[in-house]
Amino acid sequence: MFRDKIELKDFEKMDQEYQDLLRRVLAIQADCEIGGPHLYVEMILPTAPTKLDQLIVARTAAEEIDHYRKIARLAGDIGADVSYVLSRPNQERYVEAFRGRITTWEDFAVFGFLIDRIGRYQLEEFMGCSYAPLERILPEVMREEEGHIDFGTTKTAELAAKGGDSKAKVQKALDCWYVKALDMFGRSDSYRSERYRHWGLKRRTNAQARDEYIKEVNPLIEKMGLQVPDPNKGRLYY
Amino acid sequence: MPQAPNNEALDEHLKDVVQALHGAINWAMPHMNDPKIVDKAIQDCKEILDVVMEGKVSDWLK
């Protein structure tokens, strides 16, 4: 595994595969950062249950836009223009979880609980990575993602604790997002994932990260009194 | 390594956007019992975010 630390000035000296992989992973990360607001701003900002919730939705979107900005800047510095993801239709996003639209508060809560948590897993992959400028932006981005995860987890638990219709709706949202979350880790036998690891751009295999995620979220779901969804129903990647 | 076109200009524009959003939110947060202030902040955020969601980058950088 490649263990050197690469700065921007060294980038052009790197193997073409390294350059291509870094440009690709930054484009996907930028797409995921801006893909969140594109899922929920239109429907959830005006309809969140309280004015405080509305402000928190706006703050979450602001932070994701800033994450996009930071990643896009890194990509731009190595010659990759990722501004096309600012205007692409949701259906064309790289990752399937970002291809729809969030229309209910339950979905917004579970999105924070499950999908923003994947965002944290993706960012963790870059901790100690070989591209130093990427590693340097992580602390603040990860701190903000933690805030989104905490909010989503708290709201999901509150909705479940209400019981009745509220619990049924949040279970439905969980059933939808759980399999999308597992798919976000990609194929367990992904060749590209191995190359990312070879070049020190990622740390874990897709299967390792997915297993760790399952071990983290399943107990949280059970603690909320919700059912852990079938991990195979509707899955696209294994 | 040549930068992507508009790399710095877009970065600066989005910095301003994010700052404006945080400004509106941080102004409203201590005044949650004043609907006029809070409603205005939410409306400001909505207007800013609508422009970002539209994604017309060339218009932003004119």
| Encoded amino acid at A85, one letter | V
Q: A231 in a domain, yes or no?
A: no
CA distances from B57 to A31, A89, A185, A199, B6 (A): 15, 14, 30, 33, 10
Range of the domain at B15: 7-60
What was the pLDDT predicted at A208? Answer: 96
The answer to whether the Cβ–Cβ distance between B53 and A38 falls below 8 Å is yes
Name residues of chain A where pLDDT drops below 70: none
The answer to whether the Cβ–Cβ distance between B57 and A78 falls below 8 Å is no
The answer to whether the Cβ–Cβ distance between B45 and A65 falls below 8 Å is no
CB A185 within 8 A of CB A206: yes
What was the pLDDT predicted at A1? Answer: 86
Q: B1 in a domain, yes or no?
A: no
Q: Taking 80 as the threshold, does the pLDDT of residue B1 lie above it?
A: no
Which of B45, B51, B59 to mutate: most A Cβ within 10 Å? B45
Q: What are the structure tokens assigned to A5, written together?
A: 């630390």
Global confidence as pTM = 0.97
Prediction ipTM score: 0.98
Number of domains chain B is built from = 1
Q: Give the residue from A157, A21, A30, A184 showing the smallest Cα distance to A95.
A: A184
**Distance of alpha carbon A101 from alpha carbon A78, whole angstroms:** 32
Q: Taking 90 as the threshold, does the pLDDT of residue B2 lie above it?
A: no
Number of domains chain A is built from = 1
Residue A30 sits in a domain whose CATH number is 1.20.1260.10
Q: A232 in a domain, yes or no?
A: no
Question: Does the CA dihedral A233-A194-A204-A24 come out positive or negative?
Answer: negative
Q: B25 in a domain, yes or no?
A: yes
Range of the domain at A114: 10-223
> In A, which residues are within 8 Å of B38 by CB distance?
51, 55
Residue of A nearest to B30 (CA): A52
Instruction: Could you list the beta-strand ranges (E) of chain B.
Output: none
Helix (H, G, I), strand (E, B) or coil at A131: strand
Q: B2 in a domain, yes or no?
A: no
Q: What are the structure tokens assigned to A238, written together?
A: 């294994």
What was the pLDDT predicted at B39? Answer: 98
> In B, which residues are within 8 Å of A51 by CB distance?
32, 35, 38-39, 42
| Encoded amino acid at B54, one letter | E
| Residues of chain A in Cβ contact (below 8 Å) with chain B | 8, 11-12, 37-38, 41-42, 45-46, 51-52, 54-55, 58-59, 61-63, 65-66, 68-69, 72-73, 75-83, 86-88
Q: Taking 90 as the threshold, does the pLDDT of residue B30 lie above it?
A: yes
What was the pLDDT predicted at B62? Answer: 87
| pLDDT tens string A37-61 | 999 999 999 999 999 999 999 999 9
What was the pLDDT predicted at A238? Answer: 86
What was the pLDDT predicted at A237? Answer: 86
**Distance of alpha carbon A180 from alpha carbon A237, whole angstroms:** 10
